[in-house]
Chains A and B, each alone.
Chain A
Amino acid sequence: MSISDFDFDSEDELTLLETLDHVLDSGLVIAGEVTISVADIDLIYVGLNVLLGSVDTIHKVLGERVLREKKSDE
């Protein structure tokens, strides 16, 4: 199979998994470096462990569903 055989957009759920990998990745780009709140400015920083835990859950939920659907297609 060559890369041209991959369909980039039609697999919505796989797209979702990839999106989550990107959007919820471990390195909160700028916020990660601004976690210390400055005296008069309140800043929320979403804890890394929360995001990772969340990603794992979603992978589990959707990953299994995708695999199941694949199997039922065959």
Chain B
Amino acid sequence: MSVRGDSKKRRGTGGAGSVAAHAFYVYCVGERGALARLLEGELPAAIESGASIDVIEGGELAAVVSRVPLTDYDEDALQTRLKDAAWTATRAMRHEQLVEYFAARTSVVPLRFGTIYFERTGVEQMLAERDAELRRIVERLRGREEWGVNVYCDRVKLRDKIASVSPRLRELSEQAALAAPGQSYLLRKKIDAMRADELRAETKRVASEIEDALAAACEAVTRLRVLKEEATEHGELVAKLAFLVERQRFDAFRDAAERLAAAHGDAGFQIELTGPWPPYNFASGA
């Protein structure tokens, strides 16, 4: 999907005499000077085509914003809009590309889609009230980027592996093969339950091992929720993690991930790296 096209920078009128029909959509917060300089470059498209990309300053900080029409972005309108997958996907990609532009060039606190203020003063007040916290986050994220790690598991492969290494399961299978039909049935039920337990335990163990090993090669780790157990061509998604990695240490991080992928591949595990992302999952607290 391409959402490029309008890469021309447009300087708007800022907030002077802001009209009620517009709101301020905020992309990210960073250091005032750095953001102002980057605004002079060739920018990706704004969240709405034709909208300007501006900064609203507050102390040493500034927020990167666009003015968006309330016909699409007031609370009710937005709820309706968000149900349209194509509309939302387009905006999410534009948001991402613009935040990536800044995050790749300076340290910013990336906001997620949908941070909207009715008034310019709202953005200014946010910057003022959270000044110390935001500056701490900017410092913490400097020179670092987020990498996503998805761990997939091929259950069939893992089940075979467990069956071949678990002495208890092997023993029960042998008993079941020799037992009378009634007892054999009960034994098989027991084997199934035990196998399911072992599968769960092993999946959890490997996911933790991967998380711990990668955590040792980066600055911070966040465990993300797995939306639902989803079947993909890699198998089932069993863990979704986010890591904050120093740019200069990425090679070591990647090496660690490759070693883990090689070590657990036979048991049906696959590791997928995505990124670099603006550090969305490390942008709160301080």
Q: Bound pair: A and B?
A: yes
Q: Which residues of A contact B (CB under 8 A)?
A: 1-4, 6, 8, 12-13, 16, 18-34, 38, 41-44, 46-47, 50-51, 53-59, 61-63, 67, 70
Q: Please tell me if the beta carbons of B280 and A22 are within 8 angstroms of each other in the complex.
A: yes
Q: Please tell me if the beta carbons of A29 and B284 are within 8 angstroms of each other in the complex.
A: yes
Per-residue A-contact encoding for B267-286, CB less than 8 Å = 1, 0 else: 00011111101101101100
Q: Name the residue among B2, B126, B134 with the largest chain A CB count within 10 angstroms.
A: B126
What residue in chain B is nearest A57 (Cβ atoms)? Answer: B85
Q: Does more than half of chain B's interface fall in helix, strand or loop, or is it mixed?
A: mixed
Minimum C-beta distance from B268 to chain A (A): 12
- Interface residues contributed by chain B, number (CB under 8 Å): 61
Known: A6-B273, A33-B284, A56-B227. A28 touches B257 (CB 8 A): no
Residues of chain A with a CB closer than 8 A to B262's CB: 2
Q: Please tell me if the beta carbons of A29 and B111 are within 8 angstroms of each other in the complex.
A: yes
Q: Please tell me if the beta carbons of B280 and A34 are within 8 angstroms of each other in the complex.
A: no
| B166: Cβ under 8 A from any A Cβ | no
Bound form: Cα–Cα A55–B284 in Å: 21
Bound form: Cα–Cα A4–B283 in Å: 29
Minimum C-beta distance from A70 to chain B (A): 5
Q: Please tell me if the beta carbons of B271 and A3 are within 8 angstroms of each other in the complex.
A: yes
Residues of chain A with a CB closer than 8 A to B85's CB: 54, 57-58, 61-62
Q: Which of A42, A51, A59 contacts B82 (CB 8 A)?
A: A51
Minimum C-beta distance from A44 to chain B (A): 5
Minimum C-beta distance from A42 to chain B (A): 4
Q: Please tell me if the beta carbons of B115 and A31 are within 8 angstroms of each other in the complex.
A: yes
Q: Which 3 residue pairs across A and B have the least CB separation, nearest first?
A: A46-B114, A42-B118, A31-B115
Minimum C-beta distance from B222 to chain A (A): 10
Q: Please tell me if the beta carbons of B93 and A16 are within 8 angstroms of each other in the complex.
A: yes
Bound form: Cα–Cα A22–B134 in Å: 20
Bound form: Cα–Cα A26–B225 in Å: 10
Q: Which residues of B contact A (CB under 8 A)?
A: 1-2, 23, 29, 73-75, 78-79, 82-83, 85, 88-89, 92-93, 95-96, 109-119, 121-122, 125-126, 130, 134, 148, 224-225, 227, 230, 232-233, 240, 254, 257-258, 261-262, 265, 270-275, 277-278, 280-281, 283-284
Known: A3-B258, A54-B83. A13 touches B1 (CB 8 A): yes
A-B contact pairs, 9 of them (CB 8 A): A1-B261, A12-B2, A16-B89, A21-B148, A22-B112, A30-B29, A33-B284, A44-B74, A44-B116
Bound form: Cα–Cα A13–B233 in Å: 14
Q: Which of B73, B88, B274 contacts A18 (CB 8 A)?
A: B274
Q: Please tell me if the beta carbons of A2 and B79 are within 8 angstroms of each other in the complex.
A: no
Bound form: Cα–Cα A27–B130 in Å: 17
Known: A16-B1, A62-B85. A44 touches B257 (CB 8 A): no
Minimum C-beta distance from A10 to chain B (A): 13
